[in-house]
A = this chain, B = another copy of it.
Amino acid sequence: ADRELLDILLANGAITRDQYDRLLKKKEPLTKNDVEISLKKGLHFKTADGNFETKIGGRMHLQAAYHDRDNIAGQNIDDGLEIRRGRLYAKGVLYHDWKYTAEYDFAGNKTHIKDLWVAYTGLKSYGLDFIGFGHQKQPYSLEVEMSSNDIPFIERALDYGFTEAVVDRALGMRLQTHGHYWFAAAGLYGESIGKGNDEGWGTAGRFILAPLHDQEKVVHLGVRGAYREPNDDRQQDFHYKSTHQSNLKLVNTGTMRNVDNTALVGAEAAFVYGPVSLEGEYTHAMVERKKGLSDLDFDGFHVQATWSLTGESRAAAYKLKDGEFKRLKPHQYFSLSQGGLGAWELAARYAWIDLNDQEVKGGRAQDFTMALNWYLNPNIRLMFDWTHQLNNSRIKQAEDLDIFQLRTQLTF
């Protein structure tokens, strides 16, 4: 009733116009004990001094996949519906200088710890954004660093065959910082959770130069490297499946043994100009082996373009401090009653991987993907992907295979 009360007091002459204006203008704490609440992007609480923050939320990725053939090389192809991701998280800020995330996935009626880490942010005046401890992503690839909520395709590209195996989440320590035109992150890690106890270790680093980044334009150039020594089992494998549910490995080195270490080096670039974006990543993988076995070299890359039909720019979703893009923010939200369309985005991707070297015949494959994405509002995205398999040196019958995927994505 405050405004109404003030109106009345003014009209009655109990307060002056000047007093009225001053009282109205004063910004109040959002609740009496200074905790602001928002329900828009997760359930979000923040103390007015910013020293404490808590956010609770999750995501659902409901996906359907369909291959246009039932059987390839004598193998039945799995299609169907699945909950690709079903998560809950809590994240927050504690005593100003600490932040944390605890995110759990229950897809497939299984439990997976995703992000579970605590980070110290009190070294910013010393040039370090944070140092984090726990289960977290390793800094290497733009596509892997970006959330599955944000990348413009339903699944990551063929070169994820390398990055999934070497630089996805692991237990360890990560340092990260950024300047006006650059970003750097590096980390030291053991294995991921559940990968056995007598563990291997790895390190990874990523450096980004972004000489131009505003609300409409981005130039993003990056180099990165990763090194990993395996468990005592001395094994490594690289593969890529046609879909998440699928049992069809389009490329697959199988288990490489006597591995001393695996190293990845690569580069990435992204450019945004208004509603159009271009992005590419390249990785060269080297597997050093023991017992006189010769080293192995593999390569992979993808290039992709997106075009926002409704005019939004991915530049507005670029976060240099995290070295990544968030997902497209629709200018207007879909609403039948109020006439909003949401954002519509077209995307295309070409990917290539070569897992053949020496006696390892993992296959050389290429595919092409077209995507249509509908961002109904900041929480809901519908995605449709069509992937066409081009050459495949490992499974000839996989050539010209068409794969259709559909996702209903909710973040809450």
Contact = CB atoms under 8 A, between A and B. Distances in A.
Interface of A: 1-2, 4-6, 8-9, 12, 14-16, 19, 22-24, 26, 28-33, 35-40, 43, 45, 47, 52-54, 56-58, 60, 62, 76, 78-83, 86, 88, 90, 92, 94-98, 100, 102, 104, 106-113, 116-118, 122-123, 125, 133-135, 171-172, 190-191, 193-194, 197-199, 232, 245, 247, 333, 335-337, 377, 379-380, 408, 410, 412
Given A31-B30, A92-B39, A380-B118, A408 B133 contact: yes
Contacts of A133: 62, 408
From DSSP, what is the main secondary structure of chain A's interface residues?
A: mixed
B1 A1 contact: no
Contacts of A83: 113, 116, 134-135, 171, 193
15 contacts: A5-B6, A31-B37, A35-B39, A39-B52, A39-B54, A43-B45, A43-B90, A78-B198, A81-B171, A86-B116, A106-B113, A107-B113, A109-B113, A122-B336, A197-B245
Contact of A412 (B24, B32, B102, B232): B102
Given A19-B8, A118-B408, A194 B81 contact: no
A23 B5 contact: yes
Nearest to A245: B197
B118 A335 contact: no
Name the residue among A5, A38, A40 with the largest chain B CB count within 10 angstroms.
Answer: A5
Contacts of A118: 60, 62, 380, 408, 410
Nearest to A11: B19
B108 A194 contact: yes
A58 B26 contact: no
Report which residue of A16, A81, A335 has the largest number of chain B beta carbons within 10 angstroms of its beta carbon: A81
Contact of A23 (B8, B60, B80): B8
Contact of A79 (B6, B95, B197, B377): B197
A172 B412 contact: no
A98 to B, nearest CB: 6
Contact of A88 (B5, B88, B92, B97): B88
A130 B180 CA distance: 47
B33 A4 contact: no
A106 B88 CA distance: 12
A109 B112 CA distance: 5
A30 B47 CA distance: 13
Given A97-B337, A98-B379, A122-B336, 17 more contacts: A9-B14, A14-B14, A33-B36, A33-B37, A33-B38, A35-B38, A39-B54, A43-B90, A78-B198, A80-B190, A82-B197, A83-B135, A88-B88, A90-B412, A95-B379, A109-B110, A197-B245
Contacts of A24: 1
A78 B197 contact: yes
A391 to B, nearest CB: 27
Contacts of A100: 60, 410, 412
